Amino acid sequence: MFDFHVHTHYSNDCTFDMDSYIHPAIKKGLKGICFTDHVDIEYPSSSIEFELDYAKYTNEIKRLKDKYSNKLEIFTGIEFGMQPHILEADEVFFQNKSFDYILGSIHTANKKELYGGDFLLGQSEHDSILNYFNDMIFCVNHFNSYHNLGHLDAISRYVSSGSFKSAMYMEFIEEVLRIIVQKGKGIELNTSGKRYSLPHFHPEPSIIKLYKQLGGEIVTLGSDSHSPSTLGFGFDEAAATLQSCGLKYYTIYKGGKPEFIKL
């Protein structure tokens, strides 16, 4: 299978170099991996900067692609943090750059970071969650650079345990999914949820089912690995989850074009 969400030391929150992923990926029987290091323009935390040296990054991936061409397929991707106010910066960033795959993710709500909990300050969890989905609706609608939307319901990790109920937000989630289907974009099934002690992957099956019902067919599989030990985490179960939601294929991207692989 193909793991389309892998971080390396090009991401500020990861210490492993690219080489260290190659042999574990081959050993686990993966056919390919896509490096998706962070680009988070105007990330609202002074302690973390998520920028990327594009030339260095793409050259290093090319070196590995050539070296391991008959053992592992390697793809050039990024995880791009979408925020409503960086729409113009997004267009500038993608000029003269090319990627196999661009995973668009929401890591903030109303200009405040999810990770440290700032997005919750001064308001109810419910209002904070609404900010998250309102940002998401704006971004999937107005941004064009992304291919798939990352970890749609990852917000459930950053509120009190068990307090996020997707049914309460389904009208917002449905709007996100309708826009994605209409634009020919896709979603990611991100298996990291179960590593964060949640009972499901991101997004939960009811959301994948809804995406399929709305006409969606494009789902990438990603472990969101920040360490080689979690490559391909839960992929057999993830494939079964997609099948149970009515999907027959999962998706990889080459040069920005989706390719469908039978489950």
CA 179 – CA 143 distance, rounded (Å): 11
Closest-CB residue for Zn ion?
105
Of residues 120-179, which lie at the interface with Zn ion (CB under 5 A)? none
CA 97 – CA 94 distance, rounded (Å): 5
CA 147 – CA 226 distance, rounded (Å): 21
Shortest gap between Cβ of 187 and Zn ion (angstroms)? 13
Shortest gap between Cβ of 207 and Zn ion (angstroms)? 16
CA 97 – CA 259 distance, rounded (Å): 21
CA 220 – CA 147 distance, rounded (Å): 10
Q: Which helix (H) or strand (E) holds 252?
A: strand 249-254
Of residues 4-33, which lie at the interface with Zn ion (CB under 5 A)? none
The strand ranges marked E within 131-245 are 148-149, 186-190, 219-222
Of residues 69-88, which lie at the interface with Zn ion (CB under 5 A)? 79
Nearer to Zn ion, 69 or 153 (CB): 153
Cβ–Cβ under 8 Å, residues 101 and 220: yes
Shortest gap between Cβ of 69 and Zn ion (angstroms)? 26
Nearer to Zn ion, 79 or 204 (CB): 79
Nearer to Zn ion, 128 or 223 (CB): 223
Of residues 206-245, which lie at the interface with Zn ion (CB under 5 A)? 224
Q: Which amino acid is at 208?
A: I
Nearer to Zn ion, 135 or 224 (CB): 224
CA 7 – CA 2 distance, rounded (Å): 14
> Three-state SS for 181?
helix
Nearer to Zn ion, 79 or 100 (CB): 79
For Zn ion (CB under 5 A), the number of binding residues is 3
For position 110 contacting Zn ion by CB under 5 A, the verdict is no
Shortest gap between Cβ of 262 and Zn ion (angstroms)? 26
For position 105 contacting Zn ion by CB under 5 A, the verdict is yes
Q: Which residues are near Zn ion by CB under 5 A?
A: 79, 105, 224
